[in-house]
Structure 1
Amino acid sequence: MKYVILIHSNPQPWGHPTGDYIAEQQALPQAEREKGMAEFDQILEEMSKSGELQGGTALGDPASARLYRWEGGKPIATDGPYAEAKEHLAGFFLIDVASPERAEEIVATFSGPGETVELRPVWEG
């Protein structure tokens, strides 16, 4: 079963890892932040070794994005990604797991204070 883990963020200023720019993360004791990063690195390594991690990447500054919509039969480009939203997509991971429960177990390690992480099945029409 394939899922995508979408990392939503609203750090100001923009940067990676996004947790370094989120007030709730910055308020944590340094030891707790380091422990969280170590656990995150560990789950990525485990998923890489098991083949569950199919890919993923951090995305660039949303201020550099362009949004394309169709108008009058042709695409019109505007600054993106969504000017009316404060949150933006910061990155994603593609995973292939044996069950929905395993996907939920993994995604629970991808979130911390002030973060929003989305788990969505990949459509395999």
Structure 2
Amino acid sequence: MKYLCLAYYDPEKMDAMAPADMQALVEALPAKDAALAETGKLVWSGSLEGPKATFGMRPRGGKPVVTDGPYAEAKEMVGGFFVIEAADKEEAVRIASLHPAATLGEHIGWGIEVHPIGTCSVKTQK
């Protein structure tokens, strides 16, 4: 089964970090990312742009209406995502716990939300 893992953070706390603290956090990331990749269970991962680049879309009168900013009002934002392959919840926990947001960045609200993927469709471009 595949799992969508959403990595959260608090933009205000991240923006308030001292440059040296941000540098130390950034330097710790490659080893964590490598450990996750080395499991062979990482399907895909990516980082997302911040709140200023985000926009929402909701149906209004049968048409999409676009608004600036995050879709939902929340203190935390999704800052990245990754998809893993795991046999069950226990394996998903073990694999997802290798992501930096599972063990680093507590002071800036890092955390991970794991969603089993029920159905998935892939369309290839020609």
Normalising by structure 2, we get a TM-score of 0.70
Question: CA offset at residue 58 of structure 1?
Answer: 0.2
Identity of paired residues, percent?
A: 34
Query: In 1, are the aligned partners of 2:33 and 2:98 still within 8 Å (CA)?
Result: no
Query: What value does the CA root-mean-square deviation take over the aligned residues?
Result: 2.8
Query: In 2, are the aligned partners of 1:43 and 1:106 still within 8 Å (CA)?
Result: no
Residue segments in structure 1 that go unaligned for 5+ positions in a row:
none
Query: In 2, are the aligned partners of 1:10 and 1:22 still within 8 Å (CA)?
Result: no
> Which of 45, 49, 69 in structure 2 is aligned with 1:60?
49
Change over 3 Å in CA distance of 1:115–1:22 after alignment to 2:
farther
Partner of 2:12: 12
Partner of 1:121: 116
1:59-108 Cα offsets, whole Å, 9 max, x none, are: 11221112111112211111121362221111100111222211101222
**Structure 1 position 40 matched with structure 2 position 29:** no
Partner amino acid, structure 2, of 1:120 = H
The secondary structure found in structure 1 opposite 2:56 is strand
Q: Could you tell me how far apart the structure 1 residues matched to 2:54 and 2:86 are?
A: 31
Residue segments in structure 2 that go unaligned for 5+ positions in a row:
121-126
1:30-54 Cα offsets, whole Å, 9 max, x none, are: 5xx589535413322313xx2x111
Partner of 2:84: 95
> Which of 46, 67, 74 in structure 1 is aligned with 2:63?
74
User: How many residues are aligned here?
Assistant: 110
